[in-house]
Amino acid sequence: MSNSNKPSIGKRASVFELNGVPQFGQAFPLALQHVVAMIVGCVTPAIIVSGVAGLNNTDRVILIQAALFTSALSTLLQLFPFVRTQKFQLGSALPVIMGISFAYVPSMQAIAESYDVGTILGAQIVGGVIALLVGISIRKIRVLFPPIITGTVVFTIGLSLYPTAINYMAGGTSSPSYGSWKNWLAAFFTLAVVTALNHFAKGFLKLASILIGIIAGYIFAACLGLVDLSGIQSAGIFQLPQPLHFGIKFEPSACVAIGVLFAINAIQAIGDFSATTVGSMNREPKDKELQGGIMMYGCSNILCALLGGLPTATYSQNVGIVTTTKVVNRCVLGLAAVILMIAGLLPKFSGLLTTIPQCVLGGATISVFASIAMTGIKLIMRQEMNFRNSAIVGLAVALGMGVTQAPASLSAFPEWVTTIFGKSPVVLATITAIILNLILPKEENKH
């Protein structure tokens, strides 16, 4: 390794350099920027899953704590590989932030409804092994996942999350006041704040639009009498992660549903790694950075499952911050992870998050889910939308969404078939898209 690539530990580096330690005064506000951009997205999947699984308040706090702590741990493992040689490293060593991924929410909801959180974590371990295998053989299997496939999957994920957001905006299906005017008023107030900041604000206000929207919506909802603070009172002040608190259970159908998503997300991570290096360092990621990043994605998710944290993935909004600001110093992002980790050790903070009314959370996240769907469309449009590609996308989304919206359509099949294909549209859409892409004849370019 050349001297120029060695981390200049102990020296005061620029925040625009990948390696070295910058001044704390410079690094802290930049790190806080990353935390603000991702903390809502990080805890929301845990809040959604805990609601579907029917967890009590104590377990909800533990799941949210684990989400924060394991996201921070995954980020640190990606930033600072502990295994590193000339040709191989375990971790990307690129400026990326890892967080709990919305991509898994539809499948996790289905599993939590039929089984429990332990079954999700067991499937996550299997998924981590699959991601590890994808990392090892990335050069050979990458050809199976062109933008038309990954775009279809991301688009389907976005579409499948819309009912979750709408149910949350109405107050949550388990709420006695589901559908009340107060819930809708608070939801639309939150959505209006988020939308206004996204389109009319600049800098920090735009970056923190979802967080500010939730704070404003929270205050508005409190004025309507929709906030219950009992969750904070019962939470402790300091608590370490509780490994295996929810147990680990291996249900084959759940493992298939989550495992397919891990394979897709491992390929999707290539896009985030590439966007980071191209946008901020004017270069493509090296093979060992890609391979190390995907392999660590698998390893860290196995570790996260044991600690009770839900599946993590690279966070695109933080990639956007890195490419916009050109701040690539790993210590800045490492400091963001440390802030997140400290938050994950404070049950009072996690307890505060459980008091956010579901209508406020729905109003804030529906724009996130819309953004996920539109990201999928952008990926799809990277390839020419000829008759063949239109058929792939159309049929995959139609089958995936159609079967899940007609739940009785698979009632004559065994339960495992329904769990894999009938509860979340992502698996069926993915498999359909891959098969069609392999068997449909490619169209010749006509000029």
Q: Which residue has the higher pLDDT, 437 or 14?
A: 437
pLDDT score of 327: 85
What is the full DSSP assignment across 329-343?
Answer: -HHHHHHHHHHHHHH
Give the Cα separation of 197 and 110 in Å (integer): 33
Q: Cα Rg for the chain, rounded, in angstroms?
A: 21
Is 436 inside any structural domain?
A: no
Span 47-63, average pLDDT: 91
Is 32 inside any structural domain?
A: yes
Classify the phi-psi angles of 29: left when phi > 0, otherwise alpha if psi is within -120 to 50, otherwise beta: alpha
Is 401 inside any structural domain?
A: no
pLDDT score of 78: 95
Find the range with the poorest average confidence among 232-236, 417-421, 442-446: 442-446
Q: How would residue 446 be classed by pLDDT, with cut points 50, 70 and 90?
A: low
What residue ranges in 285-388 does DSSP mark as E strands? 312-314
pLDDT score of 3: 43
pLDDT score of 240: 85
Q: How would residue 1 be classed by pLDDT, with cut points 50, 70 and 90?
A: very low
Is 375 inside any structural domain?
A: yes
Write down the residue that tokens 């981390």 correspond to: 7
pLDDT score of 237: 83
* C-alpha closest to that of 50 among 119, 106, 104, 112: 112
pLDDT score of 447: 47
pLDDT score of 339: 92
pLDDT score of 77: 95
Contact present, 158 and 372 (Cβ < 8 Å): yes
Give the Cα separation of 272 and 266 in Å (integer): 10
Phi and psi at residue 345, in whole multiples of 5°? -100, 0
Is 79 inside any structural domain?
A: yes
> Tell me: the pLDDT tens digits for 265-316?
887 788 788 878 888 888 878 888 889 999 999 999 999 999 999 999 988 7
Q: Which residues contact 210 (CB under 8 A, 6 or more apart)?
A: 40, 41, 194, 364, 365, 367, 368
Span 391-420, average pLDDT: 88
Is 185 inside any structural domain?
A: yes
| Alpha-helical segments (H) within 142-228 | 147-169, 181-200, 203-207, 209-223
What proportion of the chain, given as a percentage, has pLDDT over 70?
96
What proportion of the chain, given as a percentage, has pLDDT over 90?
39
Instruction: Please give the C-alpha separations between residue 442 and each of 140, 146, 151, 428, 429, in angstroms, as whole numbers.
Output: 20, 13, 18, 22, 20
Contact present, 220 and 374 (Cβ < 8 Å): no
Count of structural domains, the chain: 1
Which domain covers residue 227, as residue numbers?
12-380
Predicted model pTM? 0.80
Is 134 inside any structural domain?
A: yes
Q: What does the block give as tokens for 230?
A: 């009992």
> Tell me: the pLDDT tens digits for 327-382?
889 999 999 999 999 989 988 888 888 888 889 988 988 887 888 788 888 888 88
Instruction: Please give the C-alpha separations between residue 416 and each of 423, 424, 430, 434, in angstroms, as whole numbers.
Output: 10, 13, 18, 22
Span 110-126, average pLDDT: 94
Q: How would residue 133 be classed by pLDDT, with cut points 50, 70 and 90?
A: very high
Is 426 inside any structural domain?
A: no
Neighbours of 401 (CB within 10 A): 17
